[in-house]
Amino acid sequence: MGELNEFSLAVRLFLKSYPWRRIDPVPWTPLRKPLAECRLALVSSAGFVLPHQPHFDESIRGGDPSFREIPCDTNVQTLIETHRSESFDHTGLRHDPNLAFPIDRVRELAEEKRIGSVNRRHLSFMGSITAPGRFVRDTVPEAARWLVQDSTDVALLVPV
Amino acid sequence: MCNQAVCLVAAELERQGVSTVVIQLLREVAERVRPPRALFVPFRHGYPLEAPGDARRQHAVIEAALRLLEDGTRQPPLLADFQHC
């Protein structure tokens, strides 16, 4: 299960002393209508890119704060996983990207009318960002604006 | 780090009027970072929806997350545990 014990001693010590960013106050947008009428977008931090997109840059100290747009009609098997962390097993993600970017599952939910629709685009980050200043200041507000422009109602966010 | 990254994105989305739910693999991180709505899942890192190639089990996790969105009785930060059916 997801526990600190999964990691090496060095990683555990880093995580124990890491100054996590506390969200305060906690913002809150209640659901305004039934999910069956909502447009849903996915946000994944597994570092997925499409074949024509640049990979996330492992050389950036503190982590690459950029993001990639993944269109809604993407064949999930074309996604390339570029997460830089060596602290977890990547086998499952490479076998089935739905594990952290469940676009096939979301399409099925729309077909079943559990949700209203699938947004036209989704967001992919590489979540190994130890210094999130630029990420929070620049990248995240821009990414959020994209989904607001799309009239997205709800977002499902999946880390690895 | 991945857990924190999605929490920070969720917070900004909520500020801009989008309802969110995040999957979390480390309870300690969710408790410290405090995303608005989080579903803690007891799976290994790299396996947030538990099972590659298993649509039924992936749907079970997603459905639990969607139910948090629909729960109008709770206040933020909302952290719930995934329960196997």
Q: Which of B23, B59, B75 sits opposite A105 (nearest CB)?
A: B59
What's the whole-number mean pLDDT along residues B76-83? Answer: 95
- Whether residue A155 and residue B33 make contact (CB cut-off 8 A), yes or no, is no
- Is A47 domain-assigned? yes
What's the whole-number mean pLDDT along residues A62-89? Answer: 93
- Is A20 domain-assigned? no
- Count of domains for chain A: 1
- Is A9 domain-assigned? no
When pLDDT is cut at 50, 70 and 90, the band that residue A2 belongs to is low
| pLDDT for residue B72 is more than 90 | no
- Give the rounded percent of residues in chain A with a pLDDT score beyond 70: 98
3-state secondary structure A47-66: CEECCCCCCCCCCCCCCCCC
What's the whole-number mean pLDDT along residues A89-105? Answer: 96
Cβ neighbours of B51 in A, within 8 Å: 99
What's the whole-number mean pLDDT along residues A146-155? Answer: 98
Which site among B7, B8, B67 would you substitute to test the A interface, given the most A Cβ atoms closer than 10 Å to its Cβ? B8
Global confidence as pTM: 0.95
- Whether residue B58 and residue A105 make contact (CB cut-off 8 A), yes or no, is yes
Domain of B16 in residue numbering reads as: 2-81
- Whether residue B55 and residue A99 make contact (CB cut-off 8 A), yes or no, is no
- Is A18 domain-assigned? no
B6-B12-B15-B21 Cα dihedral, nearest 10 degrees: -10
Domain of A79 in residue numbering reads as: 29-158
- Count of domains for chain B: 1
The terminus-to-terminus CA distance of chain B in angstroms comes to 29
Cβ neighbours of B27 in A, within 8 Å: 2
Q: Which two tokens stand for residue B14?
A: 């909520």
Chain centre distance of CA B61: 9
Q: Is the ipTM of this complex over 0.95?
A: yes
- Whether residue A22 and residue B49 make contact (CB cut-off 8 A), yes or no, is no
- Is A153 domain-assigned? yes
When pLDDT is cut at 50, 70 and 90, the band that residue B20 belongs to is very high
The terminus-to-terminus CA distance of chain A in angstroms comes to 12
Q: How far is B80 from chain A (nearest CA, A)?
A: 15
- Whether residue B58 and residue A102 make contact (CB cut-off 8 A), yes or no, is yes
Among B66, B64, B2, CA closest to A15: B2
